[in-house]
């Protein structure tokens, strides 16, 4: 017995047994956590996939999410996805949690909460714990512009009468940007007119294209090149507009008008350019926005008048995403009167139009379309005073109705606009209160509006141009 007690051989076996047990526990824990991590990553990848595909296809229903799950070879009955669409603003100045607003339109993002769904003892399905969360967004864009006119006389009874009396088969417009857009000018005649207006004595057109000339010389050259087709407004523009503008390069004007100087020298000198395109490019270069702009400032009154605004696009920072707006008007008259210690502002606007991009849709094969809401009004008068009274009087001759239109790649390819109008009405306000004139005048104005349409007189129209559209790729957001 004494030999047995003194024998130390084999004493390490208990340590081996304890170590094997500890190692087994550690391996089990590592495997459990590893498998759990892999399962969490698998569920996170599934939630990310649901968010990306849902926002790509603009389908935010739970049924579509379950279809995505089934397409991955999983049992759809085991999952209960909850999708919350909203609007995502990619503004780095905002905290990440404020960039997504649930339920806000237009929808361009979605948040996915992926839950497990189990069957209880009574055979009822119920939602268990949260498996994963994900959010995705997309940036769909469209380039568009809206132009306006006060009146157009075309077709109807008036068109038939004009055709019978004088053989006129066309349109008569008032306060219309298209009166300049329809004038086509030969580029060679335009360059010759520029040389004549500026006194450039040269034998090459390259030197004319490289010349820096006053904006008024460009406008006068447009008027001269238009010849007998020039409307009266073009002559007034040439004499009154851009008097103080900085010199502009002739080649830059033609390039901005979609005719590059290089092809011009390669045999395209006979190409025709829109007079409106040249005027717009000149106005951009000279930092002007209107065909005619006048500012008068007297001791008791100040008058600001702008006539003939070009088609307007959304601000650059809006990037033409859904929700972007553009507005235009053909007459903007602001009169400021000094009465005592206060001033009275009287603003008269005419031929107004506003367009809002509401949705960009993408179909199979890269087909894209854009939805818009358009509002027009013949005229609006607003009288503002200082102090507590604020807006003393407002009268809007528009109905305030929004006209919805869908534009496609056909409009992009052809460059042709969609023409819309909201009709005539009366919306008035006095001292900040709304006057209920709609029920009294609505039916009468509708009849007058319908009669005018039958006669071929169309009031307060908007031309909506779709320049381009792009469906952005879906991406994950925080």
Residue 17 three-state SS = helix
Total number of domains constituting the chain: 3
- Residue ending a domain, among 292, 322, 342, is 292
Does residue 302 sit within a domain?
Answer: no
- Over residues 196-215, the mean pLDDT reads 79
250 and 338 co-located in one domain: no
Q: Which of 108-117, 379-388, 450-459 has the lowest mean pLDDT?
A: 450-459
134 and 152 co-located in one domain: no
99 and 125 co-located in one domain: yes
How far apart (Å, rounded) are the C-alpha atoms in residues 283 and 241? 9
- Over residues 61-86, the mean pLDDT reads 93
Q: Is 125 exposed, middle or buried (0-12, 13-18, 19+ CB in 10 A)?
A: exposed
Confidence at residue 267, expressed as pLDDT on a 0 to 100 scale: 40
Report residue 256's pLDDT band, with 50, 70 and 90 as the boundaries.
low
134 and 145 co-located in one domain: no
How far apart (Å, rounded) are the C-alpha atoms in residues 291 and 238? 9
How far apart (Å, rounded) are the C-alpha atoms in residues 102 and 323? 16
Q: Which of 24-38, 256-270, 343-357 has the lowest mean pLDDT?
A: 256-270
Does residue 299 sit within a domain?
Answer: no
Report residue 376's pLDDT band, with 50, 70 and 90 as the boundaries.
very high
Confidence at residue 258, expressed as pLDDT on a 0 to 100 scale: 46
Whether the per-residue pLDDT at 268 is higher than 50: the answer is no
Confidence at residue 84, expressed as pLDDT on a 0 to 100 scale: 95
The reply to whether omega before 106 is within 30° of 0 (cis) is yes
Does residue 23 sit within a domain?
Answer: yes
Residue 446 three-state SS = helix
327 and 392 co-located in one domain: yes
Sequence-distant (6+) residues with CB within 8 A of 383 are: 344, 345, 346, 391, 392, 393, 394
For 104, 138, 322, the CA distances from 360, given in Å and listed in that order, are: 16, 11, 7
Confidence at residue 266, expressed as pLDDT on a 0 to 100 scale: 40
- Over residues 403-420, the mean pLDDT reads 90
| Distance between start and end Cα atoms, the chain | 74
Question: Full-prediction pTM beyond 0.75?
Answer: no
Report residue 43's pLDDT band, with 50, 70 and 90 as the boundaries.
very high
Task: Pick 88 or 306 by higher pLDDT.
Answer: 88
96 and 149 co-located in one domain: no
- Residue ending a domain, among 83, 116, 138, is 138
Report residue 270's pLDDT band, with 50, 70 and 90 as the boundaries.
low
How far apart (Å, rounded) are the C-alpha atoms in residues 2 and 10? 16
pLDDT tens digits along 217-243: 888 888 888 877 676 667 767 666 666
How far apart (Å, rounded) are the C-alpha atoms in residues 476 and 246? 47
Handedness of CA 57, 61, 64, 66 (dihedral sign): positive
Whether the per-residue pLDDT at 459 is higher than 50: the answer is yes
Residue 28 three-state SS = helix
Whether the per-residue pLDDT at 8 is higher than 80: the answer is no
Sequence-distant (6+) residues with CB within 8 A of 408 are: 367, 368, 369, 370, 466
Task: Pick 433 or 191 by higher pLDDT.
Answer: 191
Q: Which of 60-64, 403-407, 455-459 has the lowest mean pLDDT?
A: 455-459
- Over residues 109-126, the mean pLDDT reads 76
Whether the per-residue pLDDT at 337 is higher than 60: the answer is yes
Task: Pick 318 or 455 by higher pLDDT.
Answer: 455
Sequence-distant (6+) residues with CB within 8 A of 375 are: 353, 354, 398, 400, 401, 402, 403, 422
Provide DSSP, 160-219.
HHHHHHH---S-EEEEETHHHHT-EEEHHHHHHHHHHHHT---S-HHHHHH-EE-HHHHH
Report residue 136's pLDDT band, with 50, 70 and 90 as the boundaries.
very high
Whether the per-residue pLDDT at 262 is higher than 50: the answer is no
**Which among 15-29, 116-130, 295-309, 372-386 has the top mean pLDDT?**
372-386
34 and 98 co-located in one domain: yes
- What percentage of the chain has pLDDT greater than the value 70? 72
Provide the b/e sequence for 431-456 (b: ≥16 CB within 10 Å). Answer: eeeeeeebeeeeeebeeebeebeebb
How far apart (Å, rounded) are the C-alpha atoms in residues 405 and 50? 31
335 and 413 co-located in one domain: yes
360 and 442 co-located in one domain: yes
Which tokens go with 215? 């904006």
Does residue 461 sit within a domain?
Answer: yes
How far apart (Å, rounded) are the C-alpha atoms in residues 157 and 203? 54
226 and 122 co-located in one domain: no
441 and 335 co-located in one domain: yes
Report residue 201's pLDDT band, with 50, 70 and 90 as the boundaries.
confident
* Boundaries of domain holding 36: 11-138
- Over residues 357-385, the mean pLDDT reads 86
Q: What element of type H or E holds 353? A: strand 342-362
Whether the per-residue pLDDT at 259 is higher than 50: the answer is no
Whether the per-residue pLDDT at 371 is higher than 50: the answer is yes
**Which among 92-106, 230-244, 284-298 has the top mean pLDDT?**
92-106
272 and 164 co-located in one domain: no
């Amino acid at each position: 017995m004494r030999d047995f007690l003194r024998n130390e051989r084999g004493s390490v076996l208990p340590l081996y047994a304890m170590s094997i047990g500890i190692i087994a526990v550690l391996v089990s824990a590592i495997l459990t956590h590893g498998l759990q991590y892999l399962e969490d990553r698998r569920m996170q990848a599934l939630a990310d996939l649901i968010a990306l595909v849902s926002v790509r296809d603009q389908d935010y229903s739970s049924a579509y999410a379950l279809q995505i799950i089934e397409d991955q070879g999983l049992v759809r009955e085991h999952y209960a996805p909850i999708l919350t669409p909203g609007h995502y603003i990619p503004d780095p100045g905002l905290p990440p949690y404020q960039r997504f607003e649930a339920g806000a339109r237009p929808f361009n993002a979605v948040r996915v909460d992926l839950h497990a769904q189990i069957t209880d003892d009574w055979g009822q399905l119920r939602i268990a714990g949260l498996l994963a969360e994900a959010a995705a967004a997309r940036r769909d864009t469209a380039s568009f512009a809206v132009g306006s006119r006060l009146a157009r006389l075309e077709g109807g009874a008036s068109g038939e009468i004009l055709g019978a009396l004088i053989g006129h088969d066309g349109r008569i417009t008032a306060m219309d940007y298209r009166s300049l857009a329809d004038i086509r000018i030969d580029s060679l005649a335009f360059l010759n007119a520029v040389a004549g207006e500026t006194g450039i004595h040269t034998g090459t057109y390259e030197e004319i294209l490289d010349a820096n000339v006053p904006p008024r010389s460009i406008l006068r050259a447009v008027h001269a090149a238009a010849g007998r087709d020039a409307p009266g407004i073009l002559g007034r523009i040439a004499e009154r507009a851009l008097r103080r503008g900085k010199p502009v390069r002739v080649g830059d004007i033609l390039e901005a008008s979609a005719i590059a100087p290089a092809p011009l020298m390669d045999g395209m000198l006979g190409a025709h350019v829109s007079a409106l395109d040249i005027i717009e490019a000149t106005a951009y270069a000279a930092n002007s926005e209107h065909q005619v702009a006048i500012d008068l400032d007297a001791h008791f009154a100040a008058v600001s008048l702008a006539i003939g605004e070009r088609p307007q696009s959304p601000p650059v920072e809006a990037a033409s995403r859904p929700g972007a707006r553009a507005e235009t008007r053909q007459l903007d008259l602001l009169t400021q009167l000094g009465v005592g210690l206060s001033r009275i502002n009287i603003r008269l606007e005419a031929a107004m139009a506003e367009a809002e991009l509401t949705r960009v849709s993408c179909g199979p094969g890269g087909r894209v379309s854009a939805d818009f809401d358009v509002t027009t009004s013949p005229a609006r008068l607003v009288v503002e005073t200082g102090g507590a009274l604020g807006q003393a009087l407002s009268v809007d001759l528009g109905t305030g109705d929004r006209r919805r239109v869908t534009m496609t790649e056909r409009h992009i390819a052809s460059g042709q606009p969609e023409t819309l109008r909201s009709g005539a009405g009366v919306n008035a306000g006095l001292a900040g209160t709304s006057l209920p004139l709609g029920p009294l005048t609505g039916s009468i104005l509708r009849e007058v509006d319908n009669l005018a349409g039958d006669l071929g007189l169309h009031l307060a129209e908007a031309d909506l141009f779709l320049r381009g559209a792009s469906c952005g790729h879906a991406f994950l957001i925080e």
